[in-house]
């Protein structure tokens, strides 16, 4: 389906459907585990560990080993989880990811072509942006929500809070500097969800295969976010 052949009203309906399906997920689960794996088996174990800790949104970066296979495998292994991908740079990668079964897409930047490509398949897409101009541009292009990245470099939770007043109609997901210790502060500041990578998967735990430690970190994260919402 090409959006170019649709009426403005039909295009907007597709955008709203993608936004609503994504917002339902992120508002329910709040946290995304971001997996970067140099070996596919490691990526599987990382995903299983965080799922055991209660996380249900898992992003496999496209640079991971055999990312397409890993996404397909996790769709089978973890039927209660929603499996997406990230670090997508072009429309070809977007189509490959969707073909592999990715249920949501993250990009590190704002690119209208990538957003439109995802919408053609009615798959939620969350572009990365930093400035208010980039965030608004992404939203106007049809983004399902906007990833604020790297949030740590511009003030962390206080930056999210400062964005909320003028941009409170745009759901924001900070990444890049979100930790177990500060994740709840982003939710309190108005973020709709958070994404964690290295802080969820310590190098020492990965190297030793200490998957229970990662499960415990996932549990602690989810508990802290729930407390922030109560």
Indicate the domain borders of the chain: 3-229
**Mean pLDDT, the chain, whole residue set:** 96
How many whole angstroms separate alpha carbon 173 and alpha carbon 143?
12
Confidence of residue 1 (pLDDT cuts 50, 70, 90): low
pLDDT at 6: 78
* Three-class secondary structure of residue 172 per DSSP: strand
Q: How far apart are CA 86 and CA 154, in angstroms?
A: 22
Q: Could you report the per-residue pLDDT of 162-197, keeping only the tens digit for each?
A: 999 899 999 999 999 999 999 999 999 999 999 999
The dihedral sign for the CA sequence 191, 200, 37, 33:
negative
User: What pTM does this model have?
Assistant: 0.95
User: Average pLDDT for residues 95-124, to the nearest whole number?
Assistant: 97
5, pLDDT greater than 90: no
Whole-number Å distance between alpha carbons of 162 and 139: 18
Report the Cα 36 to chain-centroid distance in Å: 13
**125-174 pLDDT tens trace:** 999 999 999 999 999 999 999 999 999 999 999 999 999 989 999 999 99
Indicate if the pLDDT at residue 88 is higher than 80: yes
Task: Provide the pLDDT confidence category of residue 2 given band limits of 50, 70 and 90.
Answer: low
pLDDT at 183: 98
The topology under which CATH files domain 3-229 is TIM Barrel (3.20.20)
The CA-based angle 167-171-177, given to 5 degrees, is: 100
Pick the range with the lowest mean pLDDT from 4-18, 51-65, 98-112.
4-18
Q: What does the pLDDT average to over 74-81?
A: 97
Query: What is the average per-residue pLDDT within 28-42?
Result: 97
Contact at 8 Å (CB) between 150 and 162?
A: no
Q: Is 206 left (phi over 0), alpha (psi -120 to 50) or beta?
A: alpha
Q: State percent of the chain over pLDDT 90.
A: 94
pLDDT at 4: 65
Q: Residues with Cβ < 8 Å from 47, sequence gap 6 or more?
A: 33, 35, 58, 60, 74, 77, 78, 81, 83
């Amino acid at each position: 389906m090409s959006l170019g052949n649709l009426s403005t009203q039909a295009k907007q309906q597709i955008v709203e459907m993608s936004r609503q399906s994504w917002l339902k997920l992120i508002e329910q689960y709040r946290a995304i585990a971001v997996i970067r794996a140099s070996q596919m088996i490691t990526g599987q174990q990382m995903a299983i560990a965080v799922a055991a800790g209660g996380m249900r949104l898992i992003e496999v970066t496209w640079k991971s080993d055999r990312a397409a296979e890993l996404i397909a495998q996790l769709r089978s292994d973890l039927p209660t989880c929603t499996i997406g991908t990230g670090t997508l740079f072009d429309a070809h990668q977007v189509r490959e990811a969707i073909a592999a079964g990715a249920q949501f897409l993250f990009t590190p930047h704002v690119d209208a072509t990538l957003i439109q490509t995802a919408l053609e398949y009615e798959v939620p897409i969350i572009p990365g942006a930093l400035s208010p101009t980039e965030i608004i541009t992404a939203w106007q292009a049809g983004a399902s929500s906007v990833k604020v990245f790297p949030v740590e470099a511009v003030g962390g939770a206080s930056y999210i809070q400062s964005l909320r007043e003028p941009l409170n109609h745009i759901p924001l997901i900070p990444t890049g500097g979100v930790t177990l210790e500060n994740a709840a502060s982003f939710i309190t500041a108005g973020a709709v969800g958070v994404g964690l990578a290295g802080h969820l998967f310590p190098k020492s735990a990965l190297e030793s295969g200490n998957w229970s430690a990662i499960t415990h970190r996932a549990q602690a994260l989810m508990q802290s976010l729930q407390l922030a919402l109560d």
